[in-house]
Every structure is written in structure tokens, then in C-alpha cells.
A and B are shown apart, each in its own frame.
Chain A
Amino acid sequence: MGGAPTIGSIFAERVVVGVGDMAVSNNANVVISTYALGSCVGIVALDSAAKVGGMLHIMLPDSTLTPEKAQRQPAMFADTGLRAFLKGLYGLNANPRRLKIFLAGGANVLSGSDFFKIGERNIIAVKKILQRERLNIMGEDLAGLNNRTLHFKINTGVVDIKLPSETKRFTLV
């Protein structure tokens, strides 16, 4: 029976998180993906003891830009997005002290003023909120010149970070 698929892999369910969107789950067979993070930042979280994990894909740092949009789509902004994301995780019994976080994205233009460094501003906003909440950032693949795609397996805590010319791996356990 070598190479036979496991029960978990047969029932693996893929959830795709779009731009300004999020997903949380307590189903260990779920694989959460988000495609083409440009200046956006992807936040991956896992409480391995509770088998609760999730992913958030924020686009801009601050919801005061357009409060009505933030009300309709809170995951678009770092502040309202992280609030909704953590509420969702805690609602599934994730414990903030056990929660491990991985960050990716926030690419920036090679040469330009701060005006255009939305990626950098997204990173600063996300880290500031996570630090305020005393959450544990275990790893990151941030900034630079590349778009990134993320695939996160809740049961193993493995995050695959796909860049144009390579794939990196980080494990959140």
C-alpha cells in the first residue's frame, strides 16, 4: 500500500482567500491559499493545539481611508481586517498565547518615494497591531521585489511561499 493516499488527503478541502478577504477554520484537512500578494500582506495564524488556523489578505494599512468600505469588507485593511480575523480565530477557540503567526508579502517598487511604498506601510501597520496584541510572529517573508503565493496546511502548519523562481517553506509549529 506504499504511496496510498491518506484519509486526510482524500478529504482535503482547498479554500482560496482573495484580496481583502480572510478564512478561518477548525478543520485540520483544510488547505488555505492566497494568490499573488503584491504590496498586500498575507497573515497566516495557527493554534496547533486547538487545530485552528486561518489566513488574512490585507490590501491597505488604514480603514479610516474609507470607513464605509471597511464596514462592508473589513479584511481589506490592516486594522479592521486583523480585528475580524482574530475574532474569527478566537471564536473557534484559538488561544492568543498559543497562536503562531507568519507574515508574507508587502513588495515595494524598486525606486520611488515613500508615497508609493504601500507594501512597507502595510507591513508596519500589521506588525504594530500584532505587537500591541502581544501575538507571536514566528516567521516572515516580507518586502523585496517579488509577488508571492501562499498555501497553508492547518494539520501540519506548513506554509509554502511560492515566488517566481523558487518555493520556500516555513512550518508554524
Chain B
Amino acid sequence: MNVQTVLEKVEKLPPAPAVLPMLLRLLSDTDSDPGEIVGYIKVDPSLMAQVLKLANSAYFGGSHVYDLDDAVGRIGYREVYKLVAMVCGREMLGDKLPDLCIEEGQLWEYSLATGYVMELLAGHIGTDISAAYTVGILHSLGKVVLSTYREFDYTRVMDLVENRHLPLAQAERAIYGVTNAQVASTLLRKWKFDDEVTVPIEYQSNPMGANEEFRKMACMLNLSIWTVSSLGHNHGKDSWAFEVSESTVEAIGIDDVRLQKFIIEAHEKLEEIKDLLDQKQPV
């Protein structure tokens, strides 16, 4: 089995978030035209409606916004981008994955938590916050694809994880020759996401294997997965079946004390977001 075969033969691919890679590119370009950013979102009325609904939630301040220009004026382009990523991510990652014992909405909750922890880490390290958030949100997309591929059986993979104590990626490769991280990165490349998103996702379980330009982001993802798992937000049978090494934290420049303090900070951030998103059910 190879990644191309999976993507060609799988019956149902998640809906492509066409607007996300374009918005991410525009956000990183300081010369981009603000009107162009709003224009991309307005093309999809359903997306725009959901973005506005979320923009009116307590998390984003609570006062009413009536159109996208209002939303951009009040919360800024970066936050509007996060709203779009939230809406797209929820659509792609909301289903249950029975073979991994992941209930409806749990993969999405985990992915959103990883997105916010990546954002927090990016703020400390000084890397691109929007790219970090996107990497966190989309890094588990491959599990969704492989779970719907008839020839891929996660129960066989989990047998190997549980009985031989192999990390999920190694067990996937041992049985089928592909990993969910490879599937996610290949699909995202097909959807026109840049290397700053696809490379860290591909190397999420082996971040030191990523090329130098994107190694730090891959290490951040590896550490964020561990942090989110520590806090109990990574659901399912595979929630702890991954590897993390000291090279990861060395590459980021964090010691044991800072790591534990970061867990507390991440917990407080996620609680704050959960409280605010729970005040209204916006989407």
C-alpha cells in the first residue's frame, strides 16, 4: 500500500478547505490586500455564516457583528483566520473513528486543543502563530482518511501497538507501509498547503527527520501532542502510542521546569477557551 493508492481509492475524502491555504499565504504576506482576505471567505456563503456565528460567541467578545468586515474590524484578520480554520477543521475532523474508540467530536476537540497549544508555543518561541495553529488543527487528518479506507484495518494496527508496544506510526508502517502522518501531509499538499504546514505534519512522530527549515515546527508539534495528551484531551485507544525524545525539547530550548510550567499554562489556556466556547454553541 502507498499513500497515492490510499488517496486514489478511498471512497470518501474529507471536504477540501480550499480557502485555508490561500488565507494562510495572504496572512504571512504583509503587503496583502485586506479586501482580498475578506473576498475569499465571502465566496462561500455557508462558511461566512458559520464564521459570523462563531465571531458572535463569548470567546470573541460577545458584542454583535453583522458582517465579515465588522468581524475583521473587531477581532482582526488573524482571529478571523482562526475562525475559518475552526469551521473547516470541525467539518473534516468531527466524525467518530470506531476502530480507534474515538467518539464523535473527540478528534476535533483534540485537534483544536493541539492548535491552541501550538499557538501558545509559537508565541513563546517567536515562530509563525497562524501556521503553528494550522499545523496543530490538521495534523490528525490522516487518521480520518485511513479509518474510511476499506483495505486499512486499525484494529490490526492497534493489536500491534498494544501487544508489541509499538508507537502508532511504526505499527501503521509495519502492517500497511504508510502512516497517517504521510497521508495527511500528502493530502494537504494536494490541497495546496505550503511546506511550512505539510512538512511538520509529516514528521510529527519523528521531528528530527524534518529538514532544518521546518524542524522546529515539527518539534513543536511533537511536544504539543504530548502536552495535550498529558492534559487528557487526546482521546481513543492510541492516545499515548507515540514517541517523544529529549532532542525535541532541546531543539525548542526548553528545560524540565519550563516544560512543567508550560503544561500549567496550556491547561489554563484550554480551560479558558473551553469556558468561552461553551457559553454559546456557535457552530
Whether the Cβ atoms of B243 and A147 lie closer than 8 Å is no
Whether the Cβ atoms of B232 and A19 lie closer than 8 Å is yes
Q: Which of B200-248 contact A (CB under 8 A)?
A: 226, 229-237, 239-246
B180 to nearest A CB, angstroms? 16
The yes or no answer to A80 lying at the interface (CB within 8 A) is no
Of A20, A38, A65, which one neighbours B234 at CB under 8 angstroms?
A38
Q: Which of A96-154 contact B (CB under 8 A)?
A: 107-113, 115-116, 118-119, 144-147
Whether the Cβ atoms of B230 and A66 lie closer than 8 Å is no
Whether the Cβ atoms of B239 and A20 lie closer than 8 Å is no
Whether the Cβ atoms of A35 and B257 lie closer than 8 Å is no
The yes or no answer to B256 lying at the interface (CB within 8 A) is yes
The yes or no answer to B162 lying at the interface (CB within 8 A) is yes
Whether the Cβ atoms of A107 and B233 lie closer than 8 Å is no
By a CB distance below 8 angstroms, the chain B residues around A5 are: none
In whole angstroms, how far apart are the Cα atoms of A116 and B244 in the complex? Answer: 8
- With most chain B CB atoms within 10 A of its CB, the pick from A35, A65, A145, A165 is A145
> Which among B12-20, B118-126, B136-144, B260-268 touches the partner chain?
B260-268
Whether the Cβ atoms of A118 and B260 lie closer than 8 Å is yes
In whole angstroms, how far apart are the Cα atoms of A144 and B229 in the complex? Answer: 13
By a CB distance below 8 angstroms, the chain B residues around A111 are: 167, 242-244
Q: Which of B1-22 contact A (CB under 8 A)?
A: none
B193 to nearest A CB, angstroms? 28
- With most chain A CB atoms within 10 A of its CB, the pick from B231, B240, B257, B260 is B240
By a CB distance below 8 angstroms, the chain B residues around A118 are: 230, 260, 263
Of A35, A60, A110, A164, which one neighbours B243 at CB under 8 angstroms?
A110
In whole angstroms, how far apart are the Cα atoms of A59 and B237 in the complex? Answer: 21
Whether the Cβ atoms of A36 and B263 lie closer than 8 Å is no
The yes or no answer to B75 lying at the interface (CB within 8 A) is no
By a CB distance below 8 angstroms, the chain B residues around A19 are: 231-232, 267, 271
In whole angstroms, how far apart are the Cα atoms of A89 and B226 in the complex? Answer: 34
Known: A19-B231, A164-B239. A109 touches B260 (CB 8 A): no
The yes or no answer to A37 lying at the interface (CB within 8 A) is yes
Whether the Cβ atoms of A115 and B230 lie closer than 8 Å is no
Of B226, B230, B237, which one neighbours A146 at CB under 8 angstroms?
B237
By a CB distance below 8 angstroms, the chain B residues around A38 are: 229-234, 239-240
The yes or no answer to A159 lying at the interface (CB within 8 A) is no
In whole angstroms, how far apart are the Cα atoms of A119 and B231 in the complex? Answer: 11
A76 to nearest B CB, angstroms? 7
By a CB distance below 8 angstroms, the chain B residues around A36 are: 232-233, 235
In whole angstroms, how far apart are the Cα atoms of A106 and B102 in the complex? Answer: 20
Known: A36-B233, A147-B234, A164-B236. A59 touches B243 (CB 8 A): no
B256 to nearest A CB, angstroms? 6
By a CB distance below 8 angstroms, the chain B residues around A115 are: 246, 249, 256, 259
Whether the Cβ atoms of B260 and A112 lie closer than 8 Å is no
Whether the Cβ atoms of B243 and A112 lie closer than 8 Å is yes
By a CB distance below 8 angstroms, the chain A residues around B271 are: 18-19
By a CB distance below 8 angstroms, the chain A residues around B174 are: none
Known: A37-B232, A116-B244. A145 touches B263 (CB 8 A): no
Nearest B residue (CB) for A66: B261
Which residues of A come within 8 Å of B, CB atoms? Answer: 18-20, 35-40, 59-60, 65-66, 69, 76, 107-113, 115-116, 118-119, 144-147, 164-165
Closest 6 CB pairs of A and B: A36-B232, A38-B232, A164-B101, A111-B243, A145-B240, A39-B230
